Structure 1
Amino acid sequence: MNDLISVIIPYYNGEDYICECLDSIYNQTFRNFEVILVNDGSPKEFLEDLKVNKYPDLILYHQENKGQSATRNKGVEIAKGKYILFVDCDDKIASTFLEKTYNILISNPKIKICYTKGQYFEKESSEWYLPDFEVKRFLFANCIPISALLYREDFIKAKGFDENLTYFEDWDLWISILEDGGEVYRIPEYLFYYRIRHNANSLTNISTHQEDKIAQNRFLIYQKHYKFYEKHGFDFSNISYIILNRDQYKKKYFNVWYRKLIYKLFKQKKFNEIYSQL
């Protein structure tokens, strides 16, 4: 049981997707795992029938609607595994995901998080660009998806998902884990599949229309982890200096008369993007 992986699925009204998700998990080449589905306020009957008729080993927990962070935290509370993997109920993983990420973690005790290349499916069929981990770039843009293998012990030390955040809970968790040191590894294979739903108003797609809330959550993360940002050269004074110099450089660079003329004549959209802000 020391190498048990607990796969945790936060579930909310995912009747159209959950079987595809569960099939991808139960089809793993690595067999020492448990699957915990935490139902966050959806009807129970469908899931109970699913457990009885198709997935008898599924660990099923029902709760009132509390949101994804609280739902994932409850899953970890139930989990018995040394390792944790979160998979959203409309996503899926390749059959070798557990085997390959597990082998990376046991190969190097310094590695705390292992993720893979990602691919969109359903509405889109293309790469979800998840670059190799580099801490300074990571502090401004998360590159680790929610479906990454980690240690349960590290999750608990980091105090789990911050339920006060409405966006970027996973990014915040990764920062909390890495503040005390440790490495991150990305497997250069497409082993994680992220669904972009056909419905443009789905939970998967709607975040792009919430700019104000996204900005507020970014700021909360920066405040919460200020010491870590400062350690890597991103204290408030340095960030202000970087922004100031970037704007001065951009103004100088794009005021070259012939570049400005070419944009105005042949790339009107680019011209407006640059010069309307100067």
Structure 2
Amino acid sequence: MFTIPRWIQQHNNKFQSFAEIPEDKFGEINRRLALHKRSTVVVSILIAAWNEETNILNCISSLSVLETQIPFEIIVINNNSTDKTQQTLDRLDVISLFQPIQGCGPARQLGQEQAKGKYILLADADCIYPPCWLDEMMAVLTKKNVVCVYGRYSFIPEVNYPRWKLFLLERMKDIITEVRHFKRPYLNAYGISMGYIKEFGLKVGYVMYKVWGDDGRICFDLMQYGEVRQVKNNRSRVWTSPRTLHRDGSFSKAMIARVKKELKRLSSMIRPLPPHDTKTSKN
């Protein structure tokens, strides 16, 4: 409630630009990535990156110490970045693709088309992943009749965003997640921590333009092929900065805005959304 896990500090570098990243940092991460090299791939981790020249380093650093025996690959899709994201990727031993069509949907679509794994895990470029993340996600995704899974996430504290306040927000979010999951689990499916079977992901595909909720849309379409499950183990929580809360101006405003939003649509959560075209709809 008041602190963050110690392992996060290893990856939570404070570099402000590509030029500040020391050469030995790339070497350190690449040596760890080399330990995961296998001749076959079971899981493909897809990361859409737009102007994330320093954040992507921290993300890959955390994925380089995943504690797993499952063979995986990391695919980062440079989504038309205008900063030095590509220079960072060129120094890391990951698969790098370029998608000029703006939007996470187009980026993730390209990624899954090039992926070698049977399973897809989605990660965000500005997040830090716990060592158990891949195994915990796969433990649920490989269960009978499951086609898609999603995990939980927490915030790394900053000035004016103390950990205890973020903790309370997260617990409220977890409660809302349980309500949503009853009839509308796709509303909980965020690319920050999500996985699915690639075969079905290719069948339904991502929306091919920039729009909010491409991850939830593909989850909705995947529901025709099986169940959507939640990965609840707190050890597998992904950690990210509270920059999405910054848009509201302050923590209090962010909290109020989210409570109002959830109360407004609470009654609709007990009814499933009818089938519709997710590629053109506004919901």
TM-score range, shorter-chain basis?
Answer: 0.5 to 0.7
Q: Which amino acid aligns with 1:186?
A: V
Structure 1 CA distance for aligned equivalents of residues 44 and 227 of structure 2: 21
Contact persistence 1:7–1:87 (CA under 8 A): yes
Structure 2 CA distance for aligned equivalents of residues 166 and 198 of structure 1: 16
Structure 1 CA distance for aligned equivalents of residues 109 and 155 of structure 2: 26
Q: Which amino acid aligns with 1:92?
A: I
Structure 1 CA distance for aligned equivalents of residues 195 and 244 of structure 2: 28
Residue of 28, 46, 49 corresponding to 1:11: 49
Structure 2 CA distance for aligned equivalents of residues 81 and 113 of structure 1: 15
1:119 aligns with 2:157: no
Residue of 60, 64, 84 corresponding to 1:22: 60
Structure 1 CA distance for aligned equivalents of residues 212 and 228 of structure 2: 24
Residue of 195, 209, 225 corresponding to 1:149: 195
1:37 aligns with 2:76: yes
Contact persistence 1:44–1:62 (CA under 8 A): no
Report the TM-score when normalising by structure 1: 0.63
Q: Any idea what the Cα deviations from partners look like across 1:215-235, whole Å, max 9, x if unmatched?
A: 9xxxxxx67538xxxxxxxxx
SS at match of 1:225: coil
Where relative contact order (Cα < 8 A, 6+ residues apart) is larger, the structure is 2
SS at match of 2:232: strand
Structure 1 CA distance for aligned equivalents of residues 231 and 57 of structure 2: 27
SS at match of 1:94: coil
Shift of 1:155: 0.8
Q: Which amino acid aligns with 1:25?
A: L
Structure 1 CA distance for aligned equivalents of residues 144 and 128 of structure 2: 27
Structure 1 CA distance for aligned equivalents of residues 88 and 229 of structure 2: 39
Contact persistence 2:102–2:209 (CA under 8 A): no
Inter-CA distance 6–49: structure 2 relative to 1 (3 Å threshold): same
User: Paired residue for 2:14?
Assistant: none
Inter-CA distance 143–190: structure 2 relative to 1 (3 Å threshold): farther
1:188 aligns with 2:188: no
Inter-CA distance 68–117: structure 2 relative to 1 (3 Å threshold): closer
Task: Please tell me whether Structure 1 or Structure 2 has the larger radius of gyration of its CA atoms.
Answer: 1
SS at match of 1:86: strand
> Bigger shift: 7-16 or 118-127?
118-127
Structure 1 CA distance for aligned equivalents of residues 117 and 51 of structure 2: 26
Q: Any idea what the Cα deviations from partners look like across 1:36-73, whole Å, max 9, x if unmatched?
A: 11111125865345433xx22x0011232422110111
The percentage of aligned residue pairs carrying the same residue is 19
User: Paired residue for 1:72?
Assistant: 108
Contact persistence 1:8–1:76 (CA under 8 A): yes
SS at match of 1:85: strand
Calculate the aligned-residue CA RMSD, in Å: 3.5
SS at match of 1:187: coil
1:87 aligns with 2:123: yes
Q: Any idea what the Cα deviations from partners look like across 1:232-268, whole Å, max 9, x if unmatched?
A: xxxxxxxxxxxxxxxxxxxxxxxxxxxxxxxxxxxxx
User: Paired residue for 1:174?
Assistant: 219
Structure 1 CA distance for aligned equivalents of residues 65 and 105 of structure 2: 27
Shift of 1:187: 2.5
The number of aligned residues is: 209
